[in-house]
Structure 1
Amino acid sequence: MYVKQLMRKKLKTVQLDTPINEVWNLISSEQLHLVPVLDKKKTLKGLITAEDLLINLIPDYREFFSEYYPISPTIEDVEKKLTKQLALCAKDVMNKRVFTIYHFQDVFNALSKMIAHNLRILPVINENEVVMGFIVEKDIFKYLFKKKKNLLKELKKFKSQQKKVL
């Protein structure tokens, strides 16, 4: 089976210049695991997960309490930092190291890539690197178990026919 036959086609995306608060609203309201970041040509430039946003939005208190910053931070210090972080765009927080799979590849290639890189979801792209959808590890496993179940049924049927012949 090919990736394009098993991929999910409904896709929510953001642009490189999408404000970080809009990305957060999309991820939280749609309960998404990740959002692809596309350029104007619809080519994939990166991915953003909820974790990526949290890492960038939550102030790193270690920098406030280090030996180089001996004075405890004020609320104003924290607010300034948070204001700067809220001014970020998708391109500032996206993960640029993205693993993808082509739509014409076999699902086993997708599963191998997922296992090798400890991923649960892979963006599916076409020959022009345009995102077409996602393939999800859970969907591959459902397909494989369904296929195995059907194979077992066929095997039992074959065995019963063999007994009739003998």
Structure 2
Amino acid sequence: MPTYFVRDIMSAPALTIHYEADLDEAAAMLESNQIRRLPVLDDEGQLVGILTQGDVRVASMATAVDPYDAAATTWLTAGDAMTHRTFTVTADTSVVEAVKMMLAHKIGGLPVVDDAGAVIGMVTETDIFRLVVREWSEE
């Protein structure tokens, strides 16, 4: 198998969300785009975390309120629910290195950043599976 790089398989441009966006907006974005993770950006457009479907689910359960109590509304943002520790790769990272990182940290995707740290794409386990299927189908 030839050497592949993240740039060969990543999804670009990446869908991102601002850290102050409502969690409901983020959840709707995940669902409507059929994705499981969103890079979260600050006011300067820099990566500050990643929001996963799991983060949304946990935050929603942790803040469950009595639906009959109008005063009990809790407003959550993407920044409130996101995972702060984010691992990234560049477009020039080999797919093998990206897979090793994902396995080591038990994660299903990585934001792809440029030299300035701007998010330019995402590489996920689905992208890797597509590559494997493509390669195995050619044999």
TM-score range, shorter-chain basis? 0.7 to 0.9
Aligned partner of 1:27 among 27, 30, 50: 30
Amino acid at match of 1:98: T
Where structure 2 has 5 or more consecutive residues not aligned to the other structure, the ranges are none
Aligned partner of 2:50 among 35, 40, 47: 47
TM-score normalized with structure 1 length: 0.70
Moved over 6 A (4+): none
Measure how far apart 1:30 and its partner are: 2.0
Higher relative contact order (CA 8 A, sep 6+): 2
Structure 2 counterparts to residues 15-164 of structure 1, below 5 A: 15-59=18-62, 75-76=68-69, 80-81=71-72, 83-84=73-74, 87-144=75-132, 146-147=134-135, 150=138
Where structure 1 has 5 or more consecutive residues not aligned to the other structure, the ranges are 65-72, 153-166
Of structures 1 and 2, the larger Rg is shown by: 1
Q: What is the aligned-residue identity percentage?
A: 27
Q: What CA deviation, in whole Å up to 9, does each residue of 1:10-47 have, x standing for no partner?
A: 42211121122211221222222011111132211111
Q: 1:74 to 1:16 in 2, by over 3 A?
A: closer
| Greater helix share, structure number | 1
Question: Is 2:14 the partner of 1:11?
Answer: yes
Q: 1:143 to 1:54 in 2, by over 3 A?
A: closer
